[in-house]
Amino acid sequence: DAGVIQSPRHEVTEMGQEVTLRCKPISGHNSLFWYRQTMMRGLELLIYFNNNVPIDDSGMPEDRFSAKMPNASFSTLKIQPSEPRDSAVYFCASSLSGANEKLFFGSGTQLSVL
């Protein structure tokens, strides 16, 4: 299995631009999570999906952030418009819920908003 696949690995953009991060979970996993990691705030859960349905998006910082999961094998996290304070590493993780299964993390997207 290829594991959780995220793209792009690095993204550099200018303030005000739209940014889209992509994630392909492990096949067969039914839960998908988006985390943001910064030095100041550590690992923050932004949103998680179960069976493609958003269950908890209370961690999404503002309306500028949105996430979708149109099918079991793909999710996006979009920031529009982006701001410098959005600069962080964004991780996607997946798991098989209901079985005490651990999270499997992707390699992350390093986002820099100038």
Which member of 21, 106, 111, 113 binds other proteins (CB under 8 A)?
A: 106
Q: Give the amino acid at 113.
A: V
97 makes contact with other proteins (CB under 8 A)? yes
* Nearest distance from C-beta of residue 92 to other proteins, angstroms: 10
80, 63 contact by CB (below 8 A): no
| Cα dihedral 30→60→70→2 (10° resolution) | -50
Q: Which of the ranges 15-23, 38-46, 62-70, 72-80 carries the binding residues for other proteins, by CB under 8 A?
A: 38-46
Q: Which residues contact 79 (CB under 8 A, 6 or more apart)?
A: 18, 19, 64, 65, 86, 111
Give the residues lining the site for other proteins (CB under 8 A): 31, 33, 35, 42-43, 45, 48, 50, 55-56, 91, 93, 95, 97-98, 100, 102-108
